[in-house]
Every structure is written in C-alpha cells, then in structure tokens.
Amino acid sequence: MKINWKVLFALVLVVGAIYWAVSSTQVNAYTGSNLTFAVGNGPVTMTNPSDESISVQLIGSGSRSFSVSSTIDDISGASTREGTGKDRTNVFAFDLPPGISTFTVARGQDVNFGVTSETKLEAIVESMSGDNARTTAIVAAVIVLGALFYISHTTGHRWINILRRKNSFTQDTQPIAVIASGGQGHAIRSYGDNRTNIGD
C-alpha cells in the first residue's frame, strides 16, 4: 500500500495541535500541607481553611524578575533578587489570608509556590489567562480544520462519497408503507336479487 506522507503529516499536525491546546490550557489542582507547585501564567486560586494568615513565597529561577497581582489587599508588586551567580533567584513573599484568594504571576520564568505549614491548603492553578486560553483554542481549531480540509482535498473528498452512498443505502432499505383504503376491507359485491317470491 502506498503511503501518502503529506496526509500522514497532516494527521500528525491535527494530533499535535489538539495536544498543544489541551496541555497549554489545562487546570491543575493541589492540596496538602507544606505545599509546593509550579505557577503558570494564569490565575492561582488559593483556599486557606485556617483562621490565621500563612507566610508563603513565590520563587523564580534565573535572573528574570516577575510581577504579582492579587485580590489580596496590598499584595502586588515585583519580585526581589536574592543570592548571586548561579544561586540567584527572584522571590516574592506575602501572607496568605484565611479564606479564598487569587493571585497571578506575570513575566515569570519557572516560578514556584512554596509554603512551610502544617495547614492543608488548596490550590487551583490555571496555565493561562482566559484571553490567552481562548486565543490558543482558536489557533488550534484553525490548524485542525485546515489540516482536515487538506486531507479531504488530497483524498478527493472520498468521505463525502462514502456518506452519500451510506445515505442512499439507508433510503433504499426503508420499508414501503402500505395504506389500506378506508380500512374497511373488500367491498361487498351484489349479484342481483336471488330471493324467490312465494305464491307465484
């Protein structure tokens, strides 16, 4: 069988686009004490079930600083550099209040959330912001539809012919309905009056 490498490449492109869209927009959930996880470019929703604030840190590797915005009062700003050389990191420390709060990291590189506490925190981490997630989904959809159209064009739109034949076969095999006329059965035929007059 002759393999159409262009069609095969288009199929790989479809799978790759779907995988890229799903992995880029995935939402991760974490829970536990002494919690540590990677922060993406989307919002992070934290739940602190205790009645007290807990000290937490955002730590980014490398020399690139990052900024933090949050629904927590007075918690926003840029990270500060700590250490020198290869051990240099960017750190942003703040107190996580009781209840539910949200923060977002921008322009970060390999930023991780870290806390040392026995309190079991809950975190929902989105990889992208809502606008970026929609853009990613649209780009992936365009790639998938374009690749599918190319495959269909290259194969002579055979799938359309297959659907037509299937539809035609379904219509041909449908039973023919027989309608009875009036539902009264056969009409009674009259052959004249066969009665004999008595007394003639």
Buried residues in 147-178 as b, exposed as e (16+ CB within 10 A):
beebbeeeeeeeeeeeeeeeeeeeeeeeeeee
> What is the tally of structural domains in the chain?
1
Amino acid at 149: F
Domain assignment present for residue 52? The answer is yes
- 130-154 helix and 5-24 helix, angle to the nearest 10 degrees: 170
For a pLDDT cut of 70, what percent of the chain falls above it?
A: 75
1: pLDDT confidence band, cut at 50, 70 and 90? very low
Alpha carbon distance 35, 147 (integer Å): 42
Domain assignment present for residue 192? The answer is no
**Which structural domain, as residue segments, surrounds residue 78?**
26-132
Domain assignment present for residue 195? The answer is no
20, pLDDT greater than 80: yes
Q: Which of these ranges, 60-64, 121-125, 157-161, 192-196, has the smallest mean pLDDT?
A: 192-196
Using DSSP, how many helices (H) and how many strands (E) does the chain show?
A: 3, 11
Express each pLDDT in 54-65 by its tens digit.
999 999 886 778
Q: What is the chain's percent helix, strand, coil content, to nearest 5?
A: 30, 30, 40
Task: Return the CA Rg of the chain.
Answer: 36
How large is the average pLDDT for residues 167-184? 53
Domain assignment present for residue 32? The answer is yes
Alpha carbon distance 164, 171 (integer Å): 11
The CATH number of the domain holding residue 107 is 2.60.120
Q: Which of these ranges, 8-12, 58-62, 190-194, has the smallest mean pLDDT?
A: 190-194
| Closest C-alpha among 86, 134, 90, 133 to residue 112 | 90
